[in-house]
Amino acid sequence: MKLVVANESHFKYAHIISDTIGESAKVRGTGIAKRTPEYIQKKLQNGNAVIALDGETFAGFCYIEVWGHEKFVANSGLIVHPDYRGQGLAKKIKQRIFDLSRTKFPDAKIFGITTGLAVMKINYELGYKPVTFSELTDDPEFWKGCQTCKNFDILTRTEQKMCLCTGMLHDPNAQPAVKKDNVNSKAFTRLKSIKEQLLLKKKTK
């Protein structure tokens, strides 16, 4: 398995990346924005994406997006092909894209939003902290990316204050945590369930 910074030679993988994201969104039923092959191609060409390949076979992907005049970067679109899940690949991809983000944008705060426990765990290990949406970028273009998520109406209804996703932030200027705890999976799952009960219930009224 090799993890490389993507370039134009990887355009041929844009369709499978887009399809794998789309299929995963259907299976999971919540909280993954769609990305077209054209959109993925743009991400592949500017040196801000990491692709994992098993020989010539696509295994995983993630990209950096820059917001608020480089004050913030997001590590978005993380996807591991179902054939390669459960082997620590997402962790390796996230570490690689995190390192790339720190090298290319050393002063930027790195953030992500997620409903997934796996991503929450990985981010936590990388030193991210859970934060309210008000601490993330207010760049409207970032939030427009949520329009293709099936929960977008919740974000609109709450005036962008909350949604089913949890915001997580790595601030390069913050004091490092003294002790690196693991994410509390039980608490996270419980919180997610409470949010779903509150926010999804209102949706059906």
Contacts to ligand COA by CB under 6 A: 24, 28, 32, 78-80, 85-91, 114, 116-119, 121-122
Q: Which residue is nearest to ligand COA (CB)?
A: 90
- Nearer to ligand COA by Cβ, of 8 and 48: the residue is 48
Residue 60: CB minimum distance to ligand COA, A: 7
Among residues 8 and 83, whose Cβ is nearest to ligand COA? 83
Closest approach of Cβ 12 to ligand COA, in Å? 20
Min CB(36)–ligand COA separation in Å = 16
**Closer CB to ligand COA, 107 or 145, in the complex:** 145
**Closer Cβ to ligand COA, 122 or 146, answer by number:** 122
Question: Facing residues of 63 across strands?
Answer: 49, 76
- The distance of closest approach from Cβ of residue 191 to ligand COA in the complex, given in angstroms and rounded to an integer, is 14
